[in-house]
Amino acid sequence: MFRLVDIMLMYALFFATMGYAFHPYYHHRRRQHHSYRISSNILDQQGYYRRQLVQLYINIPTDPSIIEHNRQYLSDKLGFSEEKLDKIAASLTFNYNILTLDIGILDDRVNWLKNRLGLTENQVKKIIRLQPDILSRSSKSDKGLESKIDWIQERLVLDQKSLAKMTTKSPNILTMSIRDNIEPTLDWIQERVMLDQKGLSKMMTKHPAMLHLSIEDNIEPTLDWLQERLVLDDTALSKMIQRMPSILCYSITDNIDPKLDWLQDRLKLDDTALSKLIPRAHTVLSCSTDVLEDKLKWLQQRLFDR
């Protein structure tokens, strides 16, 4: 005869198997995350598998000593602030985040990342503080860091130094999908901006944050707008973007358009003169109009008010 509790556990097992086994976190957690064991006698008697499935299905908190150990590690080794650690602790997904990893896993992953990317101590601290979620990924899993880094390094023909530079500037790329984001963006930019392999590598090393931009919403409209506003042919546009890829991250309405209007008015430039000037002084787009005005006033005063 089944006891009532057995029937309830069978239900729990059924839903746990159906619901959780297909959840992406399931396999990950099963291997690497410690769940606090229920000290119930009933569960202890029913065997390991039943307990594990029930633990996964029901939100059971991780042993607080593990969380404390991982907090201490992140604070001592990587310089995380208490505020940042509290924020991570508050952002649990299915009772999971980097603070719930078994003791030792964080250190293994930090060392692996440091060696694989050829990072200095400060670079690895910077990367992980900016993007702690990187440590939630196993290097060995199918979509893990190792295959991602290998792909980026091969696609962009990066030496170890450039790889370290690129990932330190924009650690978020390590959390992006190659298939859905990185690969299509690289292919599109290479084609549109007419870049050879070397040009693409140089641009991405210089400004990897570009990979976070949407082609449809950001990159394509900005390129089209610049080309039209500054009357640039494809070659001139390519040259300008290669010199200053960060221009693609600026807002047209809030930054580029008003600044070009200001410059045109301040220096009494017609459209042709403006389109000749900007490609030779594209960095003006990264300065505020106050800074530009200061420079112009300085030149006027120092060179002519004798």
Partner 1 sequence: MTDEQLSEMMQRSPGLLSCSIDRNLEPTLNFYIDALGKDHALAFVTRIPASLSYSLEKRLKPRLKQALDVGMVVDSKLVSLIMFYTNEKWDRKVEIKMGKR
Nearest to 168 by CA among 225, 113, 124: 124
Q: Is 292 in the site for partner 1 (CB under 8 A)?
A: yes
Does the footprint of partner 1 cover residue 125 (CB under 8 A)?
no
Q: Which is nearer to partner 1, 176 or 284 (CB)?
A: 284
* In the complex, minimum distance from the CB of residue 288 to partner 1, in angstroms, rounded to a whole number: 12
Which residues, 65 to 124, sit near partner 1 by CB under 8 A? none
Tell me the per-residue interface mask from 248 to 287 with partner 1, x by CB under 8 A, - otherwise: -------------------xxx---x--xxx-xx-xx--x
Instruction: Copy the structure tokens of residue 193.
Output: 């901006």
CB 277, min distance to partner 1, A: 5
Q: How many residues does the chain have?
A: 306
Query: Binding of partner 1 at residue 294 (CB under 8 A)?
Result: yes
Contact call for residue 295 and partner 1 (CB under 8 A): yes
H-only helix segments in the chain = 4-20, 24-32, 41-46, 48-57, 64-78, 82-90, 105-117, 121-130, 145-155, 160-169, 183-192, 197-206, 220-229, 234-243, 257-266, 271-280, 289-304
Amino acid occupying residue 221: P
- Decide whether 130 or 277 has the Cβ nearer to partner 1: 277
The answer to whether 109 and 139 have CB atoms below 8 angstroms apart is yes
Question: How many C-alpha atoms does 297 have within 13 Å on its Cβ side?
Answer: 6
* CB closer to partner 1, 213 vs 292: 292
If one asks whether residue 3 binds partner 1 (CB under 8 A), the answer comes out as no
- Packed helices 105-117 and 145-155: angle between N→C axes, nearest 10 degrees: 10
Pair 245, 207: CB distance under 8 Å: yes
Q: Is 303 in the site for partner 1 (CB under 8 A)?
A: yes
305 forms part of the interface with partner 1 (CB under 8 A): yes
Select 11 or 298, whichever has its Cβ closest to partner 1.
298
Instruction: Report, in Å, the least distance between residue 237 CB and partner 1.
Output: 17
Nearer to partner 1, 3 or 280 (CB): 280
Q: Assess 179 for contact with partner 1 (CB under 8 A).
A: no
Residue 273 CB, nearest distance to partner 1 (Å)? 6
Region for 38 from its dihedrals, namely left if φ exceeds 0, alpha if ψ lies in -120 to 50, beta otherwise: beta
Q: Which C-beta is closer to partner 1: that of 14 or that of 298?
A: 298
Based on the number of CB atoms within 10 Å of its own CB, is 82 exposed (0-12), middle (13-18) or buried (19 or more)? exposed
Strand partners, 96: 93
Burial group, residue 16, by CB count within 10 angstroms (0-12, 13-18, 19+): buried
Size of the site for partner 1 (CB under 8 A): 24
- Residue 11 within binding range of partner 1, rule CB under 8 A: no
Interface with partner 1, residue 231, by CB under 8 A:
no
CB of 168 to partner 1, least distance (A): 25
Residue number with CB closer to partner 1 (252 or 277): 277
Q: How far is residue 290's CA from residue 293's CA, in Å, rounded to a whole number?
A: 5
3-state secondary structure of 136: helix
Position 299 contacts partner 1 (CB under 8 A): yes
CA distance 261 to 278: 12
As a whole number of Å, the end-to-end CA separation of the chain is 106
Min dist CB 266 to partner 1, Å, is: 8
Residues near partner 1 (CB under 8 A): 267-269, 273, 276-278, 280-281, 283-284, 287, 292, 294-296, 298-300, 302-306
